[in-house]
Amino acid sequence: MALNFPKIDPVALDLGIVQIHWYALAYVFGFIAAWRLAIYICNLDKKDPNYRPNANDIDDYLSWAILGVLLGGRIGYVLFYNLPTYFDNPLEALKVWHGGMSFHGGVIGVVTSLVLYSKIKKVPFWRLADVSAAVTPIGFLLGRLANFVNGELYGRVTDVSWGVVFPRGGEEPRHPSQLYEAATEGLLLFILLFSIIHIPAVRKRAGTVSALFMLGYGLFRFGCEFFREPDIQLGFIVEQVTMGQILCIPMIIAGLVFYVMAGKRNRV
């Protein structure tokens, strides 16, 4: 027995000339939550006045992170998922309100912002990256819930009892893969990383949390892709392998490499 998709208006607030969508609110509240939690993490070491990043660094870096997520996410979607369409209609790439963001592109954007900010502001790169990595899953949680509300990025056809009939997914029930991703790469990954970064020895081992983030997200996303419907414009890339899974492979490898490097770097 399938579940009918809940009738939730994707517009959270209609102000007449301006409509505020749940997806936009997910970004806003995701950034706010990540910002406040990052400050909390930095304050765990506030007894050391020379320890960085500190709360002021987080306040300063926030705008860099937002820019990295938005630019990287959009450019990544254009390059990884829909390049032929945007190649024929380049101006369409600027119309972000039409949708289309890539997590993997967002990661590249954030890493770029971390590198630039740490060099310009003289903040230890791996420490700032660890704080950012520990709070980032909050954004995934809210973003995937917004995807579910919008009835997009749904899963493959299924006969499980909790399958959902999505308005844009035909008459057959599908896996609510957005909720699988919200629970794993969002909530579960956040609980794991946020708990781990409370351990003083882990915070001193700079780069550890960043490595675990890449490894954890890569594994969770790779697994969830087996339940998620491939992007219609791409389909399966190789056999039953999706673009999302292909992009997760270098993340998993990098996570393992960075974890080993973090151990060696902090033994020196």
pLDDT the model gives residue 97 = 58
Q: How far apart (Å, rounded) are the C-alpha atoms in residues 163 and 166?
A: 9
Pick from 67, 69, 77: which is nearest to 98 by CA?
77
pLDDT the model gives residue 188 = 98
Does residue 68 register a pLDDT over 70? yes
pLDDT the model gives residue 251 = 95
Q: What pTM, to 2 d.p., does this model score?
A: 0.90
- Within 10 angstroms of residue 198's Cβ, the number of other Cβ atoms is 12
What is the H or E stretch that residue 127 is in? helix 125-135
DSSP assignment letter at 53: S
Take residue 151 and report the two structure tokens written for it: 């009835």
Strands 3-4 and 19-21: unpaired
pLDDT the model gives residue 111 = 93
Take residue 169 and report the two structure tokens written for it: 């997914």
- Within 10 angstroms of residue 208's Cβ, the number of other Cβ atoms is 25
For 157-213, the pLDDT digits (tens) are 999 999 999 988 888 999 999 999 999 999 999 999 999 999 999 999 999 999 999
Take residue 206 and report the two structure tokens written for it: 């700079």
Number of C-alpha atoms within 13 angstroms, CB side, residue 188? 12
* 103 compared with 202, residue with greater pLDDT: 202
pLDDT the model gives residue 60 = 97
What are the sequence ranges of the domains in the chain? 3-200
What is the H or E stretch that residue 115 is in? helix 103-121
Q: How far apart (Å, rounded) are the C-alpha atoms in residues 10 and 26?
A: 12
What is the H or E stretch that residue 14 is in? strand 11-14
For 3-31, the pLDDT digits (tens) are 888 878 888 888 888 888 888 899 999 99
For 200-242, the pLDDT digits (tens) are 999 999 999 999 999 999 999 999 999 999 987 777 888 889 9
For 79-99, the pLDDT digits (tens) are 877 777 777 777 766 666 566
Residue 240 main-chain phi, psi, to 5 deg:
-105, 20
Q: How confident is the model at residue 267 (pLDDT cuts 50, 70, 90)?
A: low
Strands 19-21 and 11-14: antiparallel
Number of C-alpha atoms within 13 angstroms, CB side, residue 179? 10
Secondary structure percentages of the chain, helix, strand, coil, to 5: 65, 5, 30
- Within 10 angstroms of residue 73's Cβ, the number of other Cβ atoms is 23
Q: How far apart (Å, rounded) are the C-alpha atoms in residues 106 and 70?
A: 7
Q: How confident is the model at residue 1 (pLDDT cuts 50, 70, 90)?
A: low
Amino acid identity of residue 32, one-letter, is I
pLDDT the model gives residue 268 = 47
